[in-house]
Amino acid sequence: MTGKTSGDGFVVFDHVQKSYDGQTLVVKDLNISIARGEFLTMLGPSGSGKTTCLMMLAGFETATHGEIRLDGRNINDVPPHKRGIGMVFQSYALFPHMTVGENLAFPLEVRGMTKAERDARIKRALDMVQMGAFASRRPSQLSGGQQQRIALARALVFDPELVLMDEPLGALDKQLREHMQYEIKQLHHKLGITVVYVTHDQGEALTMSDRIAVFNDGRIQQLAPPEVLYEKPENSFVANFIGENNALPGKIEKLDGNRALVRLGNGELIDATAVNIREVGQDTRVSIRPERVEFKPDLMPVGAHTIEAEVVDVIYMGDILRARLKVAGSDGFVMKYRNTLGQTKLSPGDKLHIGWHPQDARALDPV
């Protein structure tokens, strides 16, 4: 699906298309409205069109068709330096021959600010990212995480209302990346700025965003808050791209409103929520999240559907255990359960019954 265009959105893509060769569209009829102060993430695999959309908004690429508006103004023909947008890149893009202070002064000098005003803004921006003592250092004297903080400070130093971030944490190690996610989100809340963030990291998107636009093949597949994307995916691509997912192939046996009875490949019938299902006999894939699957009878949800399974292997992951099961003829079904004291030990070859609440099963497109 695509987001509905709204005239009062702070950032609006209105029927935007992009082609580099005049034939193949890398962005196909994009309609999206981003509210002032929103943190919106464009998420998708490489080549899905998300970065191209960000570059069109920044002014580094031109839309082939459609209109991009910022605060009600058409900016299609406005050059990048006149859009007043802050940018943060994965590569940091700091000037190596300049000190940290000089890097931050550059966008202020371009705007004709006095030295006193520049100094005050630089100090404030560096303090925001806990880098106040580093103004005289050069980028080569900083760690990757410190350089990314400086790149963030430079994007914020001239008080932009809109900041664009293109894979800004991709070069950092896991622990530092998670810390920077928290800091960026805190700055977003504190400053009230609008952020458009591009990443292929689903965990990053779920952690940071007010809404996520999931891209594939130049289109938005679903646009929604993180919990909606995860709990209620609208198609198999979103279900498989956001988090871990089980997908059981089958056919629609019966439809009753938004409920579907699905016959799996082994003949077993299961109940599921019907999502964009049109008719009986249609192929489908039933989506079930691994953590919604239970195998202990006393913990089985009320009204749970149960099905036979066989343990293929169990992986210890610290706080959780991840069991791969053979279910309905497929040996790729995953179940996750907490590592608690006295937890039942499962071993390869064990036979068991697993179950889930019918509302946790979604009959989606067959891919």
Strands (E) located in the chain? 11-19, 25-34, 39-43, 65-70, 73-74, 85-89, 162-166, 194-199, 211-216, 219-224, 246-256, 259-264, 269-274, 283-288, 305-316, 320-327, 330-338, 351-356, 362-364
pLDDT digits (tens, 9 = 90+) for 299-319: 777 778 889 999 999 999 999
The residue type at 366: P
Domain match, 345 and 196 both: no
Tokens of 211: 């809404």
Whether 128 is in a domain gets the answer yes
C-alpha to C-alpha distance for 51 and 45, rounded to whole angstroms: 10
| 7 band by pLDDT with thresholds 50, 70 and 90 | low
pLDDT digits (tens, 9 = 90+) for 136-180: 999 999 988 898 889 899 999 888 999 999 998 887 888 888 888
Structural domain count of the chain: 2
Among 62-66, 187-191, 216-220, 332-336, name the one with the lowest average pLDDT.
187-191
pLDDT digits (tens, 9 = 90+) for 35-90: 999 999 999 998 899 999 999 999 999 999 999 999 999 999 999 988 999 999 87
Domain match, 288 and 217 both: no
Specify the CATH number for the domain of residue 348.
2.40.50.140
* pTM check: above 0.85: yes
| 2 band by pLDDT with thresholds 50, 70 and 90 | very low
C-alpha to C-alpha distance for 335 and 318, rounded to whole angstroms: 15
Query: If 0-12 CB within 10 Å is exposed, 13-18 middle and 19+ buried, where does residue 192 land?
Result: exposed
C-alpha to C-alpha distance for 209 and 120, rounded to whole angstroms: 31
DSSP string across 48-63: SSHHHHHHHHHTSS--
Whether 1 is in a domain gets the answer no
Can you tell me the mean pLDDT for 89-96?
Answer: 81
- Which of 236, 271, 304 terminates a domain? The answer is 236
| 4 band by pLDDT with thresholds 50, 70 and 90 | very low
Is pLDDT of 3 > 50? no
Domain match, 220 and 311 both: no
Per-position b or e across 58-75, b if 16+ CB within 10 A of its CB: bbebebeebebbbeeeeb
C-alpha pair distances (Å), 36 with each of 1, 193, 195, 196: 22, 7, 9, 11
The rounded percent of the chain whose pLDDT value lies above 70 is 98
C-alpha to C-alpha distance for 221 and 223, rounded to whole angstroms: 7
Can you tell me the mean pLDDT for 236-257?
Answer: 94
| 196 band by pLDDT with thresholds 50, 70 and 90 | very high
Is pLDDT of 1 > 50? no
Specify the CATH number for the domain of residue 197.
3.40.50.300
Whether 153 is in a domain gets the answer yes
- Which of 204, 236, 268 terminates a domain? The answer is 236
Range of the domain at 310: 244-364
Contact 43, 211 (CB under 8 A): no
